[in-house]
A and B are shown apart, each in its own frame.
Chain A
């Protein structure tokens, strides 16, 4: 065998091995997806039925009586707007931290501390606040909370991407007479577009998957998809087919999103503060 053939063979073997490892690691997820296409009684069979009659009963149930599509719509609207708001607020803040000579350290440390506050700690005071403001069970309250809770992360990420931009670019632009805003909008944002996108994807996923705030602060109008999922655990039994179907519907867009942004994600996850 020639050396190129050997290299090719090695590549093939490696691919096969890693494919196997990947599938093995994803078994919990694969089983979840399969559960969505089975009847509950099949899911609970002992020994597990790997061969079964596929059915859409789970999907029919969640899109029928449960009206999962409304929950999905709520999730989508809230997550999208929240993500948009986050980027809108975090990007200038990050720019200011990097370029506009303010006392970065204090602010940075305070946003790290902010990120440490778990939802459980603030959910009741926020509930009481929301009542006073008449914002219970509205889109606005969840958008406001999700946006704020994801701000620390977004600022941190955007700051990292902005630090990657050579300072000379800014200096040149300023000497040319550009305002800071112009530099931000026309130089930094385009260059860091990938990073902004990665940040947006992360934030969207976090909002999409959030449970506790949605549980406490919404009732029927703004209820999000994860709440519907949790309700499949009923007083009398766990509706596994509905959970499987719901999980497929809920996770597919997010997976597609994340995979499409893969390139930026991998870069962005280092948060750029390491070169």
Chain B
């Protein structure tokens, strides 16, 4: 192709991408820039005129030195990583299961889609009942099986409970991604390896797992980012309590924004939030970028 043709292509390319770019700038970038400016002021909705009140780094400093903020960071990161790790393992098992041959395949596979698509806010709201110590069916089942009831939403268990809730909702996502991975496996290589005398364990590890690796990376990076921003279902279930054990960064940001209407502080928290998510998911994304490029 001639050079002109290539440049014209590029120009057209930018044209084709411009609506998307425009939307992203208007709806995402502009508010973030506004946020950035506001984060250096004492802007508060309850004090008109406070947007002009320049305070430098004080909002950031106050946030970073606030022990409750640091707790929220730990809670958020722990929640995301713990939940995703469990979902990855569980999801792979479910995928292996769904990959077998059986009857009613579409029905059985479709069933797993359900938790993924139920509104997260409803999940959070309804699991209040499921986790209820006396009215909930979880404890009813435990007691029937001979165990003692668990106070799911008390200070020692609430964090685990929100992880379990997310595992329930998001494992199907991992399962279905892994299933796609398993189905794109090259059966011949597997067969050849078995014929060559490789043990099932070796087959599994070297062939299946390594084949699934990119799928795992995609699903994990997608879900870690989403989990760190999870708001609806945690807020509905515990509103961040008891104490601060389930207060994630998004819940804390919401509270500062909508209870105190302290815009400056909220804005600082928003930018710090972005930074933290970048730090946590960055390595994963980079690795993903490298491997997908290598394939090309």
Instruction: Check whether chain A touches chain B (CB < 8 angstroms).
Output: yes
| Residue from B13, B26, B176 in contact with A101 in the complex, judged by beta carbons closer than 8 Å | B13
Chain B residues, CB < 8 A from A136:
none
Verify A102–B103 contact, CB threshold 8 A: no
Chain A residues, CB < 8 A from B40:
none
Tell whether A11 pairs with B103 under 8 Å between CB atoms, given A209-B120, A233-B125.
yes
B78 within 8 A of A: no
A116 to B218, CA, bound (A): 15
Verify B129–A43 contact, CB threshold 8 A: yes
Q: How many residues of B contact A (CB 8 A)?
A: 96
Verify A96–B14 contact, CB threshold 8 A: yes
Tell whether A274 pairs with B24 under 8 Å between CB atoms, given A92-B16, A102-B13, A243-B125.
no
| B217, chain A: closest CB distance, angstroms | 9
Main secondary structure of the interface of A (DSSP, over half): helix
Q: How many residues of A contact B (CB 8 A)?
A: 98
Verify A270–B177 contact, CB threshold 8 A: yes
B266 within 8 A of A: yes
Chain A residues, CB < 8 A from B140:
47-48
Verify A124–B257 contact, CB threshold 8 A: yes
A110 to B277, CA, bound (A): 14
A270 to B111, CA, bound (A): 19
A22 within 8 A of B: yes
Q: Which residues in chain B, 126-154, are within 8 Å of chain A measured between CB atoms?
A: 126-130, 134-135, 137, 140
Chain A residues, CB < 8 A from B46:
none
A44 within 8 A of B: yes
Q: Mark A121-132, 1 if CB is under 8 A from B, else 0.
A: 111111011000
Verify A266–B179 contact, CB threshold 8 A: yes
Main secondary structure of the interface of B (DSSP, over half): helix
Verify A230–B12 contact, CB threshold 8 A: no
Q: Which residues in chain A, 40-72, are within 8 Å of chain B measured between CB atoms?
A: 43-48
| Residue from B102, B125, B135, B270 in contact with A15 in the complex, judged by beta carbons closer than 8 Å | B102
Verify B274–A117 contact, CB threshold 8 A: yes
Tell whether A226 pairs with B122 under 8 Å between CB atoms, given A126-B27, A258-B117, A266-B176.
yes
B55 within 8 A of A: no
Verify A269–B177 contact, CB threshold 8 A: yes
Chain A residues, CB < 8 A from B119:
208-209, 211, 226, 229, 247, 250-251
Chain A residues, CB < 8 A from B125:
229-230, 232-233, 238, 243
Instruction: Name the CB-closest residue of A to B251.
Output: A120
Verify A28–B130 contact, CB threshold 8 A: yes
Q: Mark A143-182, 1 if CB is under 8 A from B, else 0.
A: 0110111011001000000010000000000000000100
B168 within 8 A of A: yes
Q: Which residues in chain B, 1-35, are within 8 Å of chain A measured between CB atoms?
A: 6, 9-10, 12-17, 19-21, 23-24, 26-28, 30-32, 34-35
A232 to B121, CA, bound (A): 12
Instruction: Name the CB-closest residue of B to A240.
Output: B129
A51 to B180, CA, bound (A): 40
| Residue from B19, B116, B250, B263 in contact with A124 in the complex, judged by beta carbons closer than 8 Å | B263
Chain B residues, CB < 8 A from A124:
257, 263, 266
Verify A274–B214 contact, CB threshold 8 A: yes
Verify B236–A147 contact, CB threshold 8 A: no
Verify A15–B108 contact, CB threshold 8 A: yes
Verify A100–B122 contact, CB threshold 8 A: no
Verify A275–B295 contact, CB threshold 8 A: yes
A197 within 8 A of B: no
Verify B27–A31 contact, CB threshold 8 A: no
Chain A residues, CB < 8 A from B103:
11-12, 15
Chain A residues, CB < 8 A from B117:
205, 209, 251, 254-255, 258
Chain B residues, CB < 8 A from A97:
13, 17
Verify B257–A11 contact, CB threshold 8 A: no
| Residue from B111, B122, B257 in contact with A120 in the complex, judged by beta carbons closer than 8 Å | B257
Tell whether A15 pairs with B104 under 8 Å between CB atoms, given A180-B12, A209-B121, A230-B121.
yes
11 other contacts beyond A25-B168, A96-B14, A238-B125, with CB at 8 A cut-off? A35-B126, A96-B16, A114-B24, A120-B231, A205-B117, A226-B121, A226-B232, A243-B125, A251-B114, A254-B117, A270-B181
A-B residue pairs in contact (CB < 8 Å), sample of 5: A14-B100, A32-B118, A118-B273, A230-B121, A258-B113
Residues of B within 8 A of A (CB): 6, 9-10, 12-17, 19-21, 23-24, 26-28, 30-32, 34-35, 38, 97-98, 100-104, 106, 108-123, 125-130, 134-135, 137, 140, 168, 173, 176-177, 179-181, 183-184, 214-215, 218-219, 225, 228-229, 231-232, 236, 250, 253-254, 257, 263, 266-267, 269-271, 273-274, 277-278, 281, 285, 289, 292, 295-296
Residues of A within 8 A of B (CB): 11-12, 14-15, 18-19, 21-23, 25-29, 31-32, 35, 43-48, 89-90, 92-93, 95-97, 99-102, 105, 107-126, 128-129, 144-145, 147-149, 151-152, 155, 163, 180, 205, 208-209, 211-212, 226, 229-230, 232-233, 238, 240, 243, 246-247, 250-251, 254-255, 258-259, 262, 265-267, 269-271, 273-275
Report the 8 A-B pairs with minimum CB-CB distance, sorted nearest first.
A100-B13, A121-B270, A118-B229, A125-B31, A148-B27, A102-B13, A96-B16, A93-B20
